Amino acid sequence: MARRRLVYEGKAKILYEGPEPGTLIQHFKDDTTAGNGTRKEVIEGKGVLNNRISEHIMGGLNAIGVPTHFIRRLNMREQLVRAVEMIPLEIVVRNLAAGSFSQRLGIEEGTQLPRPIIEFYLKDDKLGDPLVTEEHIIAFNWASQQDIDDIIALALRVNDFLSGLFLGVGIRLVDFKIETGRIWEGDYARIVVADEISPDSCRLWDIKTGRKLDKDVFRRQLGSLSDAYSEVATRLGIMPMPGEEKAGNRRGPKLVH
Ligand code: ADP
Ligand code: UDP
């Protein structure tokens, strides 16, 4: 393959210049980090699973008219995306209390929230991605009030789509993080979902057993992360069921009653 210009290497992905102007190739690595990069391991196959799961989710969002950067998957580890002007925020949507929210507010993990709660974190590893308010975002010009309104509307649509998608395969969407960016069309900037949506950035609990099927398996050392992510991919119907690995055996989602 021809040498490609590296644009950025992060903790979990690499961005290369894409084949056409305004495009990037997003490469999913097996590197897995927790505690803002303080713990790091290579988990074989994780990048392949996240590439497929994120393709499935972003493709679904595009199909229902929620704009994303995703264009198409190129191979096992790479997808073609539109280059966007990243907004330096991590947007977290929560349906049940968990993780830092439970710790900060003393609300037991698993408590159903009265409505989806949206939080903003500044994307800055050196500062440990601090929680910020709309006041901070506007005062420091990370995004405008209009951008924030658009981001909230987008985040709620993603929440509804993902909650339904996972509910159909017996998985509760506890919370998730998205990143967004601007695509300029003349003087008008459209906000789109960028980065990835995968078990690295969602909390996913089996509805019947409560088994964790997300990155908490790594963060809390609960077992095999690739087994958990494979289970998600299998249930979504994008990886063959065990024993059905033959080509052409792709199935639809595994309905869980
Ligand atoms: P991190 O930077 O937190 O270590 P990753 O390893 O996932 O994270 O790196 C991917 C980087 O690519 C992130 O910084 C993300 O903000 C950025 N990114 C994701 N999608 C796009 C896009 N469409 N255009 C430009 N940058 C993007
Ligand atoms: N999250 C993420 N990247 C981050 C921080 C959080 O993808 O840098 C996701 C995380 O997987 C979870 C949600 O955002 O689905 C909320 O995370 P929380 O604030 O509870 O943080 P944590 O407990 O992971 O520190």
Q: Ligand 1: residues within 6 Å at CB? A: 8, 10-13, 15, 24, 69, 81-84, 86, 179, 181, 194-195
Q: Examine the domain organization and report whether 107 and 173 are in the same domain.
A: yes
218 domain residue, yes or no? no
Return the best residue to mutate from 123, 166, 175 for the ligand 2 pocket (most ligand atoms within 8 A of CB). Answer: 175
Classify residue 104 as left (phi > 0), alpha (psi -120 to 50) or beta: alpha
Q: Which atom of ligand 1 is nearest to the CA of 84?
A: 24
Name the stretches of the chain with pLDDT < 50: none
The pLDDT value given to residue 257: 67
- Of 204, 227, 202, 200, the C-alpha closest to 34 is 200
Q: Examine the domain organization and report whether 40 and 109 are in the same domain.
A: no
Return the best residue to mutate from 5, 6, 11, 15 for the ligand 1 pocket (most ligand atoms within 8 A of CB). Answer: 15
250 domain residue, yes or no? no
The pLDDT value given to residue 38: 87
Q: In 3-state terms, what secondary structure has residue 139?
A: helix
How far is residue 32's CA from residue 179's CA, in Å, rounded to a whole number? 18
The pLDDT value given to residue 2: 63
Cα separations (Å) of 19 from 24, 29, 77?
Answer: 8, 20, 16
245 domain residue, yes or no? no
How far is residue 9's CA from residue 87's CA, in Å, rounded to a whole number? 18
CATH of the domain at 146: 3.30.470.20
Q: Examine the domain organization and report whether 76 and 90 are in the same domain.
A: no
The pLDDT value given to residue 1: 56
The pLDDT value given to residue 77: 98
Q: Examine the domain organization and report whether 152 and 201 are in the same domain.
A: yes
241 domain residue, yes or no? no
